[in-house]
């Protein structure tokens, strides 16, 4: 039973390029969450998605960032025209439709470096 899978683990982009981060939830999980961790800080919530729906995007920057969770395939966090300040670790977590609230598992994260 594979856990939450994120890829790539490390991503280097030049300023102005696009970054695409992928997250495959645990088997049977239909809810996906994205978090960002800036250096030396805790994780900050970005967006919560169910299949084909964005439920809560209160933590997403207003520009350049978007997320999707299509009916088939992984969830994608997309950052357009990256800037140095986007350098961070991006974590994905998943939960089942009826979350029991006792656990919240994260993927291994994608470390984005903008040069």
Q: Give the separation between CA 4 and CA 103, rounded to whole angstroms.
A: 13
> What does the block give as tokens for 92?
């994905």
Closest to another protein by CB, 83 or 105: 105
Report the interface residues with another protein, using CB under 8 A.
Answer: 31, 33, 35, 41-45, 48, 50, 55-56, 89, 91, 93, 95, 97-99, 101-106, 108-109, 111
Question: Least CB distance from residue 52 to another protein, whole Å?
Answer: 14
Closest to another protein by CB, 18 or 48: 48
Contacting residues for 41 by C-beta, under 8 A, at least 6 apart? none
> What does the block give as tokens for 57?
């995007």
Question: Least CB distance from residue 15 to another protein, whole Å?
Answer: 23
Question: Least CB distance from residue 19 to another protein, whole Å?
Answer: 17
For residue 10, how many other CB atoms are within 10 A of its CB?
11
């Amino acid at each position: 039973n594979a856990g939450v899978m994120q890829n790539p683990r490390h991503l280097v982009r030049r300023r102005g390029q696009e970054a695409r981060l992928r997250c495959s939830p645990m088997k049977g999980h239909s809810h996906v969450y994205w978090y960002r961790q800036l250096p030396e800080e805790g994780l900050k919530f970005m967006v919560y998605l169910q299949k084909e729906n964005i439920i809560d995007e209160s933590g997403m920057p207003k520009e350049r960032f978007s997320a999707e969770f299509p009916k088939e395939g992984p969830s994608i966090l997309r950052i357009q025209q990256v800037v140095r300040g986007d350098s961070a670790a991006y974590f994905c977590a998943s939960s089942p439709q009826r979350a029991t609230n006792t656990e919240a598992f994260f993927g291994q994260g994608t470390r984005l470096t903008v040069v």
